[in-house]
A = this chain, B = another copy of it.
Amino acid sequence: MTTAKASVLEQFKAPLALRNYEVPSRPEPGAILVRTEMAGICGTDVHLWKGELTIALPVILGHETVGRIEALGDGIERDWSDQPLQVGDRVTWSPGLTCGVCFYCAEKRIPTRCVNRRAYGISQPCNHAPHFLGGYAEFHYLKPRSTIFKLPDDLRTESVIGAGCALNTALHGVERTGIGLRDIVVVQGAGPVGIAALAVAKSAGASQVIVIGAPKHRLEMAERFGADHVIDIDQVRTPAERIAAIRDFTRGYGADVVLECVGMPPAVVEGMEMCRDGGKYLVLGHYCDAGTVAWNPHIVTRKQLSVFGSWSSEPRHMKMAVDFLRATPNQFPFAEMVSHRFSLEQTNEALATSASGEATKSAIVPTLRWD
């Protein structure tokens, strides 16, 4: 029997614990065992750690992961895109497993809301075999029907982790919203989701993308990703000033599309004011419940707005993300987003660094030596 290490959330707001679990000796048919190479720390992980979404414990966090195939179960020979798979291949995967037959999957065609959805690193508890169902661990087990993507040699692991689930999420959200050719787009937020939304908006035909956020190092990153303008909320401190700034960029009308990537309710109220009449607003940053805000629904009528939400992403968005990252490494340097690397033993420090906003993006590298 071989065992391996995993960093486990056993109690909300308490330090993650380093545990040893038995490594499955052989994957069941259709499953794959992966040796983790790098696991991203998503902002959602911090919220999960705080208990802001109801999930069952214990759980190995980590839903943005790259690893190499250690063993293949019977009958799994190809990835989701029909590429052949073999031991040693570098892969990533969609966090969510969906059923394909429920009301939401089949009747309403929104698999992101599958009633049987289970996400690695979030809603797959680790107290029973095969245990390794999250990224913060030496191994990762991929159950049958997982959606796996073989990574091409010219796509760096850092690109995939730097983009994280933020890119899939942004691809899904922008797809739902629709950016028209030559639209003026505002991105509220300069964290990983905001940067990803910026990259997607630029690629989708936006004529200008204006990013609003802080701190300075994130806005500089936004500029490296091609932001046409940035507004520093540490300098332009009131919503009224920021709304006025957007009006100045848009002949007084407001933006065609505003993408919320902040996760704080007042941003939504502010952002709707930044839309032109007939504009579109995407609530993308509210994966977690951050409470209420005083909001006047009259604005939706008066401005004839369209407001969209999107939850997580589908496997096809992960495929789009992988292709996108491979095609645009210079235009959108997601690999450079990975600013901090930690060993498994340092997971709590890694989470804290992410929570502080100090890191653009932190990652766990299980092979890093702790000393």
Show the binding face of A for B, using Cβ within 8 Å: 80-82, 100-101, 103-104, 106-110, 112-113, 145, 147, 171, 174-176, 180-182, 200, 203-205, 207, 251, 253, 260, 265, 268, 276-278, 283-311, 314-316, 319-320, 323-324, 327
Neighbour of A302 across the interface among B80, B182, B307, B311, CB < 8 A: B311
**Distance A288 CA – B323 CA, assembled complex (angstroms):** 37
**Distance A241 CA – B365 CA, assembled complex (angstroms):** 49
Please name all residues of chain B whose beta carbon is closer than 8 Å to the beta carbon of A294 when the two chains form the complex. 292-295
In the complex with contacts A82-B251, A110-B277, A286-B301, A182-B295 CB distance below 8 A: no
Does A297 lie within 8 Å of B323, measured CB to CB?
no
Copy number in the complex reads 4
Q: Separation in Å of the A278 CB from the closest CB of chain B?
A: 4
Q: Separation in Å of the A277 CB from the closest CB of chain B?
A: 4
Please name all residues of chain B whose beta carbon is closer than 8 Å to the beta carbon of A205 when the two chains form the complex. 203-205
Tell me the nearest residue of chain B to A293, going by C-beta. Answer: B295
- Excluding A283-B300, A293-B294, 17 further A-B contacts by CB distance (< 8 Å) are A81-B107, A82-B251, A104-B278, A110-B278, A113-B278, A174-B181, A181-B320, A182-B324, A283-B297, A286-B300, A286-B302, A290-B298, A291-B296, A300-B309, A301-B309, A305-B307, A307-B307
A-B contact pairs, 29 of them (CB 8 A): A82-B103, A82-B251, A101-B145, A104-B277, A104-B278, A108-B277, A109-B316, A110-B277, A112-B304, A113-B278, A181-B200, A181-B320, A268-B297, A283-B301, A285-B301, A286-B298, A289-B296, A289-B298, A290-B296, A291-B296, A293-B294, A293-B297, A294-B295, A299-B309, A301-B309, A301-B311, A304-B309, A305-B307, A305-B309
Does B301 lie within 8 Å of A284, measured CB to CB?
yes
Q: Separation in Å of the A292 CB from the closest CB of chain B?
A: 4
Which of A101, A180, A283, A305 gathers most chain B CB within 10 Å?
A283
Tell me the nearest residue of chain B to A316, going by C-beta. Answer: B107
Does B308 lie within 8 Å of A253, measured CB to CB?
no
**Distance A82 CA – B104 CA, assembled complex (angstroms):** 12
Neighbour of A292 across the interface among B103, B181, B296, CB < 8 A: B296
**Distance A103 CA – B254 CA, assembled complex (angstroms):** 12
**Distance A320 CA – B305 CA, assembled complex (angstroms):** 22
Tell me the nearest residue of chain B to A178, going by C-beta. Answer: B178
**Distance A291 CA – B296 CA, assembled complex (angstroms):** 6
Please name all residues of chain B whose beta carbon is closer than 8 Å to the beta carbon of A207 when the two chains form the complex. 323-324, 327
